[in-house]
Amino acid sequence: MKRINITIIIALLGVLLGVLLTLITVKMAGFHKEFDGDYNRWRKLNLILQEVQKNYVDTIDMESMTDAAVVAALAKLDPHSVYLPPVELTESETERAGNFEGIGITFNVPDDTAIVLSPITGGPSEKAGLMQGDRIVRVNDKDIAGVKMPQDSMIRLMKGPKGSKVKITVNRNGTLIPFDIIRDKIPVHCIDAAFMIDETTGYIKLSKFTRTTYTEFTAAAAKLLAQGMTRLLFDLRDNTGGYFDQAWKLANEFLERGDEVVYMEGRQRPRQNFDADGRGFLKDIKISVLIDEGTASSSEIFAGAIQDNDRGVIVGRRSFGKGLVQEPINFTDGSGIRLTVSRFYTPSGRCIQKPYGDDYQYDIYERYAHGEMTYADSMKVDTTAVFYTVRGRRVYGGGGIIPDIFVPLDTTKATTFFINCNKKATQMRFAQAMFDKYGKALAGIDDFDRLDRYMDEINLDAQFLDYAARVDGLKPKEGEWEETVPYLMPQLKALVGRFSKLSDEAFYRFYVPIDDTIQAALKNPSVVE
C-alpha cells in the first residue's frame, strides 16, 4: 500500500508542476507572466494518473493527494516556498490587505501544534494575553495539538463573527492557560504608534508592510515633521515584512537620486536594481532604525539600504535573515503557491537570506542558547564575507542585518516574582480586569499626561499586588517588589493604557523609559561618524 501511495504522490506531483503551470498566471511588481508548459515532458505521469483514477483498488481523495504532493515537493526547496490551500490563501491575502473577523493572531504549525508567531497588535488575542511562542492545544473543547489537524481546520475553529466568544487553551512553558477571547474585527493597519519622544525626536513603530504602508507612513511622518521632528527613531522590531514595493518606496523617501535600495537576482531571473529617485521628503531627517531577531524580509531591505548608503544608524540585534523573493502562483480552485525565484541583496552585495537547513525554524532558539542575544561577541558574523558601504565601512554577510549598535537582552531585571507573573500572563489578565472595572473612564482619556495621572489615582500598583496574590497565588518576596516596580509599573500602565483613546500610542509611550533599544538609540547619534 505504501508503494502505491508513493506512486500516486509522484504522479500528482508531476501533473501539478507540469500541466497546471500551463494554465496559471504569475503576478508580481505590476506585470503578468504566463508559464509555458511542455505537455510531452509530463505525458507519462499524466497517463499514470489516469490509470490510478480508473483502476486503483480503493476510492481516492484526489484533492487531498494533490495537496500532499505539492506540499512534499515544496518542502524539498526552501522554507519559504509554500503551498496555500484556498482557506489559507484567502486568509493570507486578507491579513495583508484588508479587515477580517477573528481572534487576531498569526501562527505556524511546524509539527502538529499551532505556535503563536505574534498576536496582531490591538487585536483580541493580544489584549487577552496570548504571547509569541504560546502553543495552542485546545479551541473550546476540541484538542488541536498532537492530532495532526490541518492548518486550515485550525483557522476555521478560531475564526468567527465579531462578538462571538471562543476559549483558547495554550501551553506556555509547560503550564496550561485558558483564555476567553471575544472575536472582533481585526484592523490590518501597519503603524502601531507615531509620536514625539521629545521636542525634536519622533518615533514611528511599523508592524508590517501592507499595501497601505507607504500612505500610512508618509502621513505619520508629515504629522511629526509639523511637530518639530528633525530626528526619527524608526522601529522595525518584530516586523516580519510584507510587500516589497512598500519598503522600496519608504527607503526612497530618505535617499538621494541614484542611491541603490536593493537588487534581486536568481537562476532564471537576471539582476534587477531598485534605486531611489531623489524626490523623498525625508532626506534631511536623521534616522535610527531599530531591529531585532524578529525583523525580516522587507524590513531588512529597508535597514540594509539605510546602512549600506551610510544614511543612518542601525540599533538592536541581528535581524532574522529572510531574503528570498516569492512569486505568487494562483490556481483556479482558489489555492496557490509562493515559489522562491530570486534572492534579495543589499546595495553592498550582501545576501540578506541566512543559510537554511534542518534547524532553520529553530534558529532563534539557537541564538538564545549560544548567547547571541546577550553578548555582542557571540553574534554570528561571517568574517570571510566582507562588504563595504558607500563610505567604506565594513559590513558582513552571512544572513540578516548586523546592527551598528548592539543592544543585548537585559536579563538582570527579572525577579522571581516578575518571571512567575510572566509565566501565568498575570499582567495581561490584570489589564483585562482593569478594563472591565475602569473601561468607561479609560475610553474618555485622550491625553497622555492625564492618563498617567489616572493610573496613579486608581493605585494600579496596589491593585496588581492584590490581583496577583488573589488570582494566581503570587506574592513578591522581601525586597522583590521594590526591585520589580521600576519596570513592572510602566508595563502595567502600557497594557491598561491601551484601553484608552490613545490606544497603541499609550502602550509605546509608557514603554519608552524602560526600552533599552530606544534608550540606546537616543544616547547615540543617528548619523554615521
d(CA 505, CA 498): 8
Q: What pLDDT, on the 0 to 100 scale, is given for residue 99?
A: 57
Same domain, 210 and 338: yes
Q: What is the pLDDT of residue 173?
A: 75
Q: Determine the distance from the C-alpha atom of residue 363 to the mean position of all C-alpha atoms in its chain, rounded to a whole number.
A: 15
pLDDT of 22: 30
| Position 92 in a domain | no
What's the pLDDT at 376? 73
Residue at 484 is within a domain: yes
Residue 219 structural domain: 191-409
Continuous segment of H or E residues that includes residue 101:
strand 100-102
Residues 222, 323, single domain; the answer is: yes
Domains contained in the chain, number: 4
- Distance between CA atoms of 268 and 29, rounded to whole angstroms? 17
Q: Is the domain of 399 the same as that of 460? A: no
Last residue of a domain, one of 170, 186, 202: 186
Q: What are phi and psi of 336, to 5 degrees?
A: -170, 170
What does the alpha-carbon distance between residue 327 and residue 77 come to, in Å, rounded to a whole number? Answer: 14
Domain co-membership, 337 together with 377: yes
Domain assignment present for 527 = no
The predicted structure's pLDDT at residue 60: 81
What backbone torsions phi and psi does residue 434 show, to the nearest 5 degrees? Answer: -70, -35
168 belongs to a structural domain: yes
Question: In this predicted structure, what is the pLDDT of residue 32?
Answer: 40
Best CA proximity match to 83, nearest among 358, 361, 339, 323:
339
User: Which among 91, 13, 31, 22 has a CA at the least distance from the CA of 327?
Assistant: 31
**448 with 496, same domain?**
yes
Half-sphere exposure of 507 (CA within 13 A, CB side): 16
* Core vs surface per residue 142-158: b (16+ CB within 10 A) or e: eebbeeebebbebbebb
Question: Contact, 210 vs 513, CB < 8 A?
Answer: no
**CATH number for position 117:** 2.30.42.10
Query: 413 is written with which cell numbers?
Result: 531585571
- What is the DSSP pairing of strand 100-102 with strand 184-186? antiparallel
Same-domain status, 320 and 214: yes
**In the prediction, which pLDDT does 39 show?**
54
Pair 281, 290: CB distance under 8 Å:
no
**Whether 512 and 442 share a structural domain:** yes
Task: Give me the pLDDT at residue 8, please.
Answer: 39
> Quick one: how many helices (H) and strands (E) in the chain?
17, 23
User: Which pLDDT belongs to residue 70?
Assistant: 78
Measured CA distances, 188 to 220, 241, 301, 502 (Å): 16, 14, 22, 18
Give the H/E segment covering residue 167.
Answer: strand 165-172
The CA–CA distances, whole Å, from 142 to 135, 158, 247, 331 equal: 14, 11, 41, 32
pLDDT of residue 42: 61
Predicted local distance difference test score (pLDDT) of residue 66: 72
Cβ proximity of 80 and 67 under 8 Å: no
- 3-class DSSP state of 98: coil
> Mind listing the pLDDT tens digit of every residue in the chain (529 residues)?
444 444 434 334 443 443 333 333 333 333 344 434 455 656 776 677 678 778 888 888 777 777 777 788 888 888 888 888 887 777 677 666 555 788 988 777 766 788 886 688 778 998 898 986 788 999 999 999 988 888 878 888 998 888 999 999 999 878 899 999 999 987 677 899 999 999 999 999 999 998 889 999 999 999 999 999 999 999 999 999 989 999 999 999 999 999 999 999 999 999 999 999 999 999 999 999 999 999 999 999 999 999 999 999 999 999 999 999 988 888 888 888 889 999 999 999 999 999 887 677 777 777 877 788 787 776 767 778 899 999 999 999 888 999 999 999 877 777 999 999 988 889 988 987 898 799 889 989 999 999 999 999 999 999 999 999 999 999 999 999 999 999 899 999 999 998 888 888 999 999 999 999 999 999 999 988 7
Task: Report the distance separating Cα 105 and Cα 266, nearest Å.
Answer: 33
- Is residue 450 domain-resident? yes
Whether residue 146 is found in the same domain as residue 207: no
d(CA 110, CA 74): 15
C-alpha closest to that of 510 among 486, 487, 491, 488: 491
Q: Are residues 197 and 324 in the same domain?
A: yes
Q: Which of 391, 409, 427 is the last residue of a domain?
A: 409
Do 217 and 360 belong together in one domain? yes
Of 390, 409, 428, which residue is a domain's last? Answer: 409
209 and 350 assigned to the same domain: yes
Note whether residue 523 is domain-resident.
no
Distance CA 128, CA 130 (A): 6
At 351, which CATH number? 3.90.226.10
In a domain, 319, yes or no: yes
Residue 89 lies in a domain: no
- Asked whether residue 450 falls in the same domain as residue 394, the answer is no
